[in-house]
Amino acid sequence: MIKKRLDRDKKWFFQPFPYYQMRMDTDDFHGLVSIIELLDGEYFFWDMLKAGRTPVCGKGMLWLQLIPDNQHRAITAKFLPKSRTVQGVEYSKSVSLWYVDVIDGWGYDEDKVAYFTDLYLDVYFDIEGDIVIDDRDELDAAYNSGEISEAQYQMAIAEGNDIIKDLCSDTEKTQLWCEKILQLAMQRIERNDSVFKKNV
């Protein structure tokens, strides 16, 4: 299994960007919240079947990452710039894409940045109704090689199904939920209310 830090300093190389991390306990969410502000960078797009060319990172975007208590998922909501305009295209919704990693667990590194242990299976989706289950082959290979147990394998499959049920069945609701958590998190950042900061 692969350890992934929430400041995304490896695959995405976001280490120079402002990173915020906090524990949140509200009526809507209990768990870990982090935010990465993408202050620079060329736009990178994925081609989705229904939504078409979809921005996933680039200057002005923001990544909201959520690890809810008592679940095996790390949710990344990729927020568009405040103008919602990317390279001349105006988007009507605030989130371009959600990417959800199925995880085995999470913790903190010595520098206090949170990480999760990736359990291979991923679900990504958008508000237009695209739903992609990704890396099932990697999950199967990890099980067949003995890298993960049968319990971990079955849990990953069940969690993937729950992610689709919980988050993909009503994406408008999911978007409003993420917007509310982001608003609360930004208010806490402004007040410096129990927020871990890096590169700020």
200 residues of the chain, pLDDT tens digit each:
889 999 999 888 898 999 999 999 999 999 999 999 999 999 999 999 999 999 999 999 999 999 999 999 999 999 999 888 888 788 889 999 999 999 999 999 999 999 999 999 999 999 999 999 999 999 999 999 999 999 999 999 999 999 999 999 999 999 999 999 999 999 999 999 999 999 98
Domains and CATH numbers, the chain: 2-188 (2.40.380)
Please name which of 108, 23, 96 lies closest in space to residue 66, comparing C-alpha atoms: 23
Q: How far apart are the C-alpha atoms of 12 and 173, rounded to whole Å?
A: 28
Q: Is the distance from CB of 142 to CB of 148 less than 8 angstroms?
A: yes
Please check whether residue 33 is in contact with residue 46, taking contact to mean a CB–CB distance below 8 angstroms.
Answer: no
How far from 73 is each of 80, 89, 137, CA to CA, in Å?
Answer: 22, 31, 18
